[in-house]
Amino acid sequence: MTGLSLTLRNARLPGSDERVDVTVTDGVIRQIGYQGRTAPGQESVDLGERWLIPGLWDNHVHFSQWAQTARRLDLSATASATEAAGLVRERAGETLTGETLVGFGFRDGLWPDVPGRAVLDAASGDLPVVLVSGDLHSCWLNSAALAAHGFPDHPTGLLREDDAFAVVNALGTVPDTVMDGWVDTAARAAAARGVVGIVEMEMAWNPGDWQRRIAAGTDTLRVETSVYSQHLEQAITLGLRSGAVLARTGGLGVMGPFKVITDGSLNTRTAYCFDEYPGLAGQPGAHGLLTVPQDRLVGLMRRAAAGGIRPAVHAIGDRANALALDAFAEVGCAGSIEHAQLLRAEDVARFAALGVVASVQPEHALDDRDVADRYWAGRTGRAFVLKSLLDAGATLALGSDAPVAPLDPWVTIAAAVGRTRGGREAWQPGQAISRQAALAASARGRHGISIGDVADLVVCETDPFVASVADLRVMPVAATLIAGRFTHNTLQP
């Protein structure tokens, strides 16, 4: 690659109207400022006074599930089990014999009626139906699907946590060639929104899947691949330490974290909390679910850290977060807590003290605000506390948890900055963060570009430092580059 050079002319940097030229050689920014004439052999692209920012990352995605979402029945707007069953009835006639009707996106936390197998059976007959909740922590099945997935005697058809994960994983068992085609399409769409990299959190052998995909030509994203407990020993045996480049990926694929899920979710009322959920006092699971005992969590994290793989611990409830932080303190390693939705005040400062990244998804605050107001009543002042974490010195890493929220960094940034969407009053606005902080948390700590940076870049039509929250959410992206190579480009030649 020696000598390959590109000059991006007439760029504006966020917060400034000054025009600069940015020269990239061998994938690295070598010069920022007016260059004058283009050197022989140097490519030049005029940005037309658009804004140039660092490339954006989504630090928590389930990419195969995101790629499948467009092919599933959309249940995100349903307000009751009856309404969801009605959509199933409408779609059932269009589903071929031998197929499973799959829906996605229902959130039953505030429904007036209860999901049950009988209501689905009445809508679908013998056609297998699997409806996946918007938070991925529960699945609603009819009798035919329950039998097919090994739960013929389940009383309600509403599976939670590990049982639900097993069903979701089974739904993803399509031929590699089919799935890889869907993934490639989704990767190109992500690049068109300014995404240069993702952290893949699928429950699969992600290193192998992405080695195959990138080698076959899916080259529009950088990918950090996680592993779960069932693949931890395999990764350690192969020497896949966090940060190690995966073979056959041209540097685009890198080993990422070890993911472990310690509790459930708010919508499913399985997030593990110190306080009981309203209406569940004295019942089993009234505090939510601790899905990994503390001694096992510590053992798994210690094994991963010894193998050079940083832990990424899913914790949503305040009790789960406290235990996760305790585990990081005991093991003595750095890593991340994924979600960190509800925190005790005394735990906020521990993130920085322990070197634990808060990997958060701001759009979840807007999805969950109403259910939080009901089930975390009196505690929402310490839910999704982005500003408090920053003020305490913690590092934020923003993401979507797609398909739970859209894989779109501008939706994520707008939610972090405005704490609102759809014209509603901002929810807990004191926990909003600045545009600069939100951009840095989406761009691996940078909100501007510097000489010596790898040229992962995004060209925007609007200055992200002054755009309204509504405009941030739909930010037009003119181009995206990875190491100076266009992965999305609408600029005129």
| Residue-wise DSSP of 379-436 | TGGGBS-HHHHHHTTPPEEE---BTSS-S-HHHHHHHHHHS--TTPPPSSGGG---HH
The average pLDDT across 223-242 equals 98
The average pLDDT across 394-411 equals 98
pLDDT at 370: 97
Query: In Å, how far are 132, 315, 344, 359, 395 from 349, measured between CA atoms?
Result: 35, 16, 10, 15, 11
Q: Considering the chain, what percentage of its residues have pLDDT values greater than 90?
A: 92
pLDDT at 3: 59
Cα–Cα dist 316/277, whole Å? 14
pLDDT for 256-307, tens place per residue? 999 999 999 999 999 999 999 999 999 999 999 999 999 999 999 999 999 9
The average pLDDT across 157-170 equals 96
**Tokens standing for 223?**
């990918």
The mean of the pLDDT values for the chain is 96
Task: Tell me the pTM.
Answer: 0.95
Whether residue 4 has pLDDT greater than 70:
yes
Whether residue 2 has pLDDT greater than 70:
no
Residue 178: burial class (beta carbons within 10 Å; 0-12, 13-18, 19+): exposed
pLDDT for 438-460, tens place per residue? 999 999 999 899 999 999 999 99
Residue 356: burial class (beta carbons within 10 Å; 0-12, 13-18, 19+): buried
The average pLDDT across 474-493 equals 95
Closest CA to 97 of 59, 66, 124: 124
pLDDT at 98: 76
- Greatest C-alpha distance within the chain: 77
**Tokens standing for 176?**
């590699």
The average pLDDT across 240-249 equals 98
Whether 47 and 21 have beta carbons less than 8 Å apart is answered as no
First-residue to last-residue Cα distance in the chain = 23
pLDDT at 1: 43
Q: Considering the chain, what percentage of its residues have pLDDT values greater than 70?
A: 98
**Tokens standing for 322?**
């406290």
Sheet of strand 73-74, all strands in order from the earlier edge strand to the far edge: 73-74, 101-106, 129-133, 138-141, 158-160
pLDDT for 407-440, tens place per residue? 999 999 999 999 999 999 999 999 999 999 999 9
Cα–Cα dist 445/458, whole Å? 15
The average pLDDT across 112-123 equals 96
Whether residue 357 has pLDDT greater than 90:
yes
Cα–Cα dist 435/414, whole Å? 8
Cα–Cα dist 310/253, whole Å? 16
